[in-house]
Structure 1
Amino acid sequence: MATPRVAAGVIYRDGRGHVLLVQPTYKDDWDLPDGYVEPGESPLSAARREVVEELGIELSVTGLLLVDWAPHPSEGDKLLFIFNGGVLSPADRARIAADRREISRADCHDPAALDELTPDRLARRIRAALRAGSAGAGHYAEHGAAVMPTS
């Protein structure tokens, strides 16, 4: 029986369609507000918890964008859930306060810059999630490449 690691994150955008990314203190690349699901915790609860921990505020989560099966060479099987946080208001952006322990900064970036800011697998996953959001339906992906809509 498979026992994958499970992680969950949220995509937020600003009014220009730029994606909110966080700069972790423990690695060079940018990331989504995300993290591993704890035992007994649902992916949705984990995503909401990680947003509060990393951004310092509660923000809405409006639906599922993507489930990605993405095994990692050093970590084994992984299932990654990406939820839609919608569009951040200017007031929400002003209230974001990176925790400084795990996250040094949080900024919105043009999706065209994802390849420069994030690992390839994450850039593919974010683009697939954005396409799912544009299509109005969640998608299933493998290694960040959408295979099919979930509905």
Structure 2
Amino acid sequence: MTWTEPAIWYANLSSFYAAAAAFITDPAGNVLLVKPTYRDHWAFPGGYVDEGEYPHEACAREIREELGVYVTVGDLLIVDWAPPSGQRPRAIISFTFDCGTMVDLDGLNLTQQELDSAAFFSAKEAEERLPGNVAPRVHSAIHARAQRTPIYLASGSAATTHSPLPR
């Protein structure tokens, strides 16, 4: 193996986008989703991680910006890796954090240019409103919260974290 200048080596590594979202429920376990103005579907509150920002910081910032509230960003619930797709030329890694429970939506101050609405939905209703590759995060987040352990998904599907043993 030949030695490579660090600048060249790093420049040749793959790069990806990162996003952070909040998993928030009401006391009955209904899931908070937001309806972005620029999409046809609902989403978890959150957004892209800025350069130099940690994912948990991005989650808190996005909730402040989108919903006008401060939340405590808790445990990491989901890590979901998706390869490049459509207009997105790079892979994306999505982090979903447990941001607790809200009694109601009274304290929210939605960013009108970004969001049309916010509402709580049952797990089934939430899955129906989310894109197919994001919908599995609902039950995965519920399970991860209950088990207090993160879940790794690959394009929304359960992924194994080990390779099969050689024969």
TM-score, normalising length: structure 2: 0.82
Q: Quick check: which has more Rg, 1 or 2? A: 2
Instruction: Give the aligned partner of residue 81 of structure 2.
Output: 69
Instruction: Give the aligned partner of residue 78 of structure 1.
Output: 92
Q: Distance in 1 between matches of 2:159 and 2:142?
A: 14
Q: How many residues align?
A: 147
Q: Displacement, 1:116?
A: 2.4
Which segment drifts farther, 125-134 or 35-44?
125-134
Considering fraction of residues, name the structure with more helix: 1
Q: How does 1:1-151 map to 2 (within 5 A)?
A: 1-74=13-86, 75=88, 76-90=90-104, 93-147=105-159
Q: 1:72 to 1:119 in 2, by over 3 A?
A: farther
Q: Distance in 1 between matches of 2:37 and 2:146?
A: 31
Q: Distance in 1 between matches of 2:138 and 2:149?
A: 15
Percent sequence identity is 33
Taking only aligned residues, the RMSD between alpha carbons, in angstroms, comes to 1.5
Structure 2 residue identity aligned to 1:69: W
Could you tell me which runs of 5 or more consecutive residues in structure 1 were left unpaired when the two chains were aligned: none
Q: Distance in 1 between matches of 2:29 and 2:159?
A: 24
Deviations 1:104-144 (A, max 9, x none): 11110111113421110110123222221122111111112
Q: 1:140 to 1:83 in 2, by over 3 A?
A: same
Which segment drifts farther, 128-137 or 8-17?
128-137
2:33–2:126 CA contact under 8 A, matched in 1 = no
Q: Distance in 1 between matches of 2:52 and 2:99?
A: 23
Q: Distance in 1 between matches of 2:144 and 2:127?
A: 19
